[in-house]
Amino acid sequence: MSESGAAEPEEEAGRRIASEARERVRFEEEALGFADQVYRVARRMVGTREEAEELVQDTYARAFRSWQSFTPGTNMRAWLLRILTNLNTDRGRKIQRTPDSQPLEEGDYYLANRLAAAEGEQALDQDRVVERLSQGGVVDALAALPHDFRDVVVLVDLGEFSYADAAQILDIPIGTVMSRLHRGRRILKQNLAEETLS
Amino acid sequence: MTLDDADCEKCEELLQGYLDRDLTAEEVAVAERHLGACDYCRRRYRFEAELRRYIRVSASERMPAGLMAKLAELRSTAEGV
């Protein structure tokens, strides 16, 4: 009340700008804290390390520009991945359509059955039996998934996102997430059986 | 398969939902009752759980050195705004 009428708005404006700047710095720091996790997901959504690096950089450039559209208190990692998957789609991946007909799908026991057939049922009891599959084979099998399936498998099984988060990130219904995830995992196991056990 | 094939088939269907903790209480009970009696399915559930962990570890690649610095350069504060 006692302050002069002219100085107050200016001071207020100054405080507002300073507080916004602090908020922005906080936002940027929090976002950068997720960089490694964002990269790990990105790396499996695209073919090469260079593409993944570029995609992550584009993601952060956009995130830093549109930081005000992030709602504080919500899942920032999911928000960043949403930007990333949008950018990835914009890069023309739409051309790479999922084929309408998928190979005949085997059941969920397929890979274990193939291992058991090759090495005996008891082999499944051994610790580290999964390590008979090469790590490179796992990466290749994942890369060979049609991208609609791969995106969901990568988000849920690598990124450890919930079905709901994956649905939001990819902008698809949760039921679609579940069916793509289930089918994607089955196809992945088929790929693994063909690539690493044959 | 050691028990009724139909039970093993049902158990196979429940595998992903079981590991995702996305089954109803009744479905969990069906799966666990069967798993308690069937080595064939129990081995395959264990294999699947290990496979998931192995896939995560195998496919997870650390951010390349240098990327963090490039990202930090994109910050508004880095531009002197």
Q: Where are the domains of chain B?
A: 5-77
Question: A35, B63: Cβ pair inside 8 Å?
Answer: yes
Q: Which residues contact A142 (CB under 8 A, 6 or more apart)?
A: A44, A150, A153, A154, A188, B55, B59
- Indicate if the pLDDT at residue B46 is higher than 90: yes
Domain locations in chain A as residue ranges: 7-95, 110-197
Which position has the token pair 């739409």? A94
Residue of chain B with shortest Cα separation from A60: B71
Question: A60, B71: Cβ pair inside 8 Å?
Answer: yes
CB contacts of A163 in chain B (<8 Å) are: 20, 22
Average pLDDT over residues B20-27: 96
How many Å apart are CA A159 and CA A169, to the nearest integer? 12
Residue of chain B with shortest Cα separation from A59: B71
Query: Are the C-beta atoms of A61 and A53 separated by less than 8 Å?
Result: no
Q: How many CB atoms lie within 10 A of CB B66?
A: 9
Interface test with A, best of B13, B18, B63, B73 (most A CBs within 10 A): B63
pLDDT of residue B80: 46
pLDDT in tens, A63-96: 999 999 999 999 999 999 999 999 998 886 555 5
pLDDT of residue A136: 92
How far lies A58's CA from each of A52, A89, B32, B75, in Å? Answer: 10, 13, 47, 12
- Indicate if the pLDDT at residue B74 is higher than 50: yes
Question: B68, A32: Cβ pair inside 8 Å?
Answer: yes
- Indicate if the pLDDT at residue B36 is higher than 60: yes
Average pLDDT over residues A155-159: 96
Average pLDDT over residues B7-21: 96
pTM, two decimal places: 0.88
Residue % of chain B over a pLDDT of 90: 85
Tell me the count of A-B CB pairs closer than 8 A.
Answer: 111
Q: Which CATH class is domain A7-95?
A: mainly alpha
Average pLDDT over residues A86-115: 77
Of A137-141, B10-14, B75-79, the poorest mean pLDDT is in B75-79
* Separation of CA A162 from chain center: 11
Calculate the average pLDDT of chain A: 90
Please determine, looking at this structure, whether the domain spanning A110-197 carries the CATH number 3.20.20.70. Answer: no
- Indicate if the pLDDT at residue A29 is higher than 60: yes
Query: Are the C-beta atoms of B68 and A32 separated by less than 8 Å?
Result: yes
How many Å apart are CA A178 and CA A163, to the nearest integer? 7
Question: A157, B74: Cβ pair inside 8 Å?
Answer: no
DSSP code for A16: H
Phi, psi of A169 (to 5 degrees): -60, -45
pLDDT of residue A195: 81
How many Å apart are CA B8 and CA B35, to the nearest integer? 9
- Chain B residues touching chain A at CB-CB below 8 Å: 9, 12-13, 15-16, 20, 22, 40, 43-44, 46-48, 50-64, 67-68, 70-72, 74-77
Confidence of residue A194 (pLDDT cuts 50, 70, 90): confident
Closest to A96 (Cα-Cα) out of A50, A140, A61, A148:
A148
Looking from the CA of A34 toward its CB, the CA atoms found within 13 Å total 21
Of A142-156, A164-178, B65-79, the poorest mean pLDDT is in B65-79
- Indicate if the pLDDT at residue B69 is higher than 60: yes
